[in-house]
């Protein structure tokens, strides 16, 4: 519904010819909403194949024979049963790259795996939210989107390497990988990560969300030069080094919280940004889109968010998502 379509839409934005293989009834996200489907499938073509039939398998072989890659986002048993692997399809094209996006791996079983389930299973949800409340989830599909981009990267790496083969990408492995420094700290020191108020970073202080006189402010201070600039504006005269701030986290946060309570989030952003400090007032999504009109593109009759990858001299053709079976 999301990881595979997002991967292939990104490739389509970058100039790939993408043919979406669907059953005669259409893939399930066509039933969600038109804007949902458009946001993940612009710029593609569509062909209806019954892969359970002899004719559907013959047509699949024809597509594979002239393609660089086949990306599949189904449960493992269906991928194997329908022969959507390099082991089965290399007879049509030795150079074909077959990419499988699954929940737990191409040989990891068929347990249903959706974004929120994977975030819960991998420890991501347990790290998210206020420590005084329950674990929570971000407001968008971070596991699906991350897995889609990872799958696209694996696909391109194989093509650039000039070899065919099987690429196996799972939502579980992608999210465990993205725990990087949290996981490495635990594996090497035994120290478990914890949820902190304001989503505070495990190492950098202050690097989190703060309440202000009006609204919330995100500030991310790593380098001592950032701290010097902030401390000067906030009238704080202590904890000059990163090590000191980490060692006296609670005291630093108390001083910062008191200082930020004297003005609004919007005003603090205006005051701190010119000083080169990483800072932003919390915005709603509509506010963020209104402030960033360059991110919005027309694709057919719909407005969507543009491809995040810019290439000098290349402008994506943001065509509409295809109607079911539309190959033109």
Domains defined along the chain, listed by start:
3-178+297-305 (3.40.50.10540), 198-282 (3.30.1540.10)
Q: What is the pLDDT of residues 223-252, one digit of tens each?
A: 999 999 999 999 999 999 999 999 999 999
CA distances from 251 to 5, 66, 81, 195, 207 (A): 47, 64, 60, 18, 14
**And the tokens for 72?**
């599949």
Read off the pTM: 0.93
Could you give the residue numbers annotated as active site?
144
* DSSP one-letter code for 31: G
Query: What percentage of the chain exceeds 90 in pLDDT?
Result: 99
The set of residues, in sequence order, having a beta carbon less than 8 Å from that of 305 and lying 6+ positions away, is: 39, 289, 295, 296, 297
The set of residues, in sequence order, having a beta carbon less than 8 Å from that of 174 and lying 6+ positions away, is: 143, 146, 147, 150
Q: Which residue has the tokens 């795996």?
A: 113
* Interval 153-181 mean pLDDT: 98
Q: Residue 70 forms beta bridges with which residues? A: 98
**Local confidence band at 127 (pLDDT 50, 70, 90 cut-offs):** very high
Q: What is the pLDDT of residues 188-219, one digit of tens each?
A: 999 999 999 999 999 999 999 999 999 999 99
Question: Which one, of 57, 104, 50, 54, lies nearest residue 76 by Cα?
Answer: 104
pLDDT at 328: 82
- Our measurement of the distance from residue 77's CA atom to the centroid of its chain's CA atoms, rounded to an integer in Å, reads 26
Q: What is the pLDDT of residues 24-79, one digit of tens each?
A: 999 999 999 999 999 999 999 999 999 999 999 999 999 999 999 999 999 999 99
Question: What span, in angstroms and rounded, lies between the C-alpha atoms of 195 and 200?
Answer: 8
Neighbours of 56 (CB within 10 A): 16
Element (H, E) at 60: helix 54-65
pLDDT at 33: 96
pLDDT at 280: 98
């Amino acid at each position: 519904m999301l990881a595979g379509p997002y991967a292939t839409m990104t490739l389509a934005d970058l100039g790939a010819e993408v043919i979406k293989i669907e059953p005669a009834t259409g893939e399930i996200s066509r039933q969600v909403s038109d804007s949902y489907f458009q946001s993940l499938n612009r710029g593609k073509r569509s062909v209806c194949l019954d892969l359970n039939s002899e004719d559907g398998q013959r047509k699949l072989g024809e597509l594979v024979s002239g393609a660089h890659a086949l990306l599949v986002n189904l449960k493992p048993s269906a991928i194997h049963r329908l022969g959507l692997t390099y082991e089965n399809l290399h007879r049509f094209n030795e150079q074909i790259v077959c990419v499988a996006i699954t929940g737990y791996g191409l040989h990891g079983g068929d347990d249903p795996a959706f974004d929120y389930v994977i975030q819960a299973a991998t420890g991501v949800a347990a790290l998210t939210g206020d420590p005084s409340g329950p674990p929570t989830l971000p407001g968008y599909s971070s596991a699906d989107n991350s897995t889609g981009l990872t799958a696209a990267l694996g696909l391109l790496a194989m093509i650039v390497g000039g070899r065919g083969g099987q690429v196996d990408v799972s939502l579980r492995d992608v999210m465990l990988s993205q725990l990087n420094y949290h996981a490495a700290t635990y594996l090497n020191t035994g120290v478990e990560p914890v949820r902190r108020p304001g989503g505070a970073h495990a190492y950098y202080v202050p690097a989190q969300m703060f309440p202000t006189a009006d609204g919330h402010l995100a500030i991310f201070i790593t380098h001592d030069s950032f701290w010097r600039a902030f401390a000067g504006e906030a009238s704080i005269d202590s904890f000059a080094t990163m090590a000191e701030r980490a060692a006296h986290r609670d005291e630093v946060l108390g001083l910062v919280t008191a200082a930020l309570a004297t003005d609004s989030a919007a005003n603090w952003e205006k005051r701190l940004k010119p000083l080169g400090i990483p800072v932003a007032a919390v915005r709603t999504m509509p506010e963020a889109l209104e402030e960033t009109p360059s991110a919005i593109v027309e694709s057919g009759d719909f407005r969507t968010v543009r491809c995040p990858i810019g290439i000098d001299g290349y402008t994506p053709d943001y065509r509409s998502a295809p109607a079911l079976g539309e190959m033109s």
